[in-house]
Amino acid sequence: MDLIFENLTFLLKGAYYTLLITVVSMFFGFIIGVIVALARLKGNRLIRGLARIYVSIIRGTPALVQIIIVYYGLVDYGITLGPLTAAYVALSINIGAYLSETFRGAIQSIPKGQTEAAYATGMTPWQTMRRIIFPQAARVAIPPMGNTFIGMLKETSLVSVITVTELLRSAQLLVAQYYVYMPFYLSIAVMYWIMSTVFSSILNYVEKRLSKAY
């Protein structure tokens, strides 16, 4: 336990980067997800096809491979990204594919009659989406989106392979320094669990508020 307290600040710094990567990747992944979902629902045949290919490739390949391609592979084409930037890019692209399917399913769950009724009142397609479809789809999307967020929180451990000093990498560095495994790895397991539990509680609260609102 003494080793943990002595190095707690270092571990908390790793936890900070874990949260930072999660939040930033989810933010950009959210934007990508919305765009791809709308492309699959509203785009022409070419756009729908490209969106399907993107989702298929990302969902059909390991996130670790995607991270390695972004960090190491792009160097072959003269594109060099820092470890943290590469983590943002790779995980945003990854999570965007999964969120796009969540959003697409949520939008499709709204009865078409509501869209037709909105058009009948003179709303434009964008107004219909913003005022009618999106608010209801958000309520449907929150639970799976929350699961995706928790999964992303844990998946950030993969970026340790490109030397990002997030939580797992912090523990690995301490293990290499002290040659002791269990205290550090058990500590970060507890920290991952605490963060996941906190975010689950927040998402449950948001879900309940949305349920009352609609």
pLDDT reported for residue 160: 93
Per the structure, the count of domains in the chain is: 1
DSSP string, 141-152: HHHHHHHHHHHH
Q: Output b/e per residue, 34-65; b: 16+ Cβ within 10 A.
A: bebbbbbeeeeeeeeeebeebbeebeeeebee
Angstrom distance (rounded) from CA 56 to CA 97: 8
Per-residue pLDDT at 116: 76
Q: How many CA atoms lie within 13 A of 100 on its CB side?
A: 27
Q: Which contacts (CB < 8 Å, 24+ apart) does range 168-175 have?
A: 168/14, 169/14, 170/10, 170/11, 170/13, 170/14, 171/11, 171/14, 173/10, 174/3, 174/7, 174/10, 174/11
**Given this model, what pLDDT does residue 141 score?**
83
Contact at 8 Å (CB) between 108 and 41? yes
Which uninterrupted H or E stretch holds 177? helix 167-178
Query: How confident is the model over 22-41, as pLDDT tens digits?
Result: 999 999 999 999 999 999 98
Residue 212 has pLDDT above 70, yes or no: no
**pLDDT, tens digit, 9 for 90 and up, residues 189-202:** 999 999 999 988 88
Position 109 scores a pLDDT of 84
pLDDT tens for 67-126 read 999 999 999 999 999 999 999 999 999 999 999 999 988 888 888 777 777 777 778 777
Task: For residue 115, give the amino acid letter.
Answer: T
Mean pLDDT of 126-150: 81
pLDDT in tens, 151-160: 999 999 999 9
Residue 173 has pLDDT above 90, yes or no: yes
pLDDT at 214: 55
* CATH number for the domain harbouring residue 22: 1.10.3720.10
Residue 48, amino acid = R
What mean pLDDT, rounded, does the chain reach? Answer: 89
pLDDT at 210 exceeding the cut of 70: no
> Given a cut of 60, is residue 213 above it in pLDDT?
no
Direct distance between the N- and C-terminal alpha carbons of the chain, in angstroms, rounded to an integer: 49
Name the nearest CA neighbour of 38 among 141, 144, 129: 129
- pLDDT of residue 177 exceeding 60: yes
Name the residue range of residue 134's domain: 2-213
Q: What is the DSSP string of 41-92?
A: HHS-HHHHHHHHHHHHHHHTS-HHHHHHHHHTGGGGGT----HHHHHHHHHH
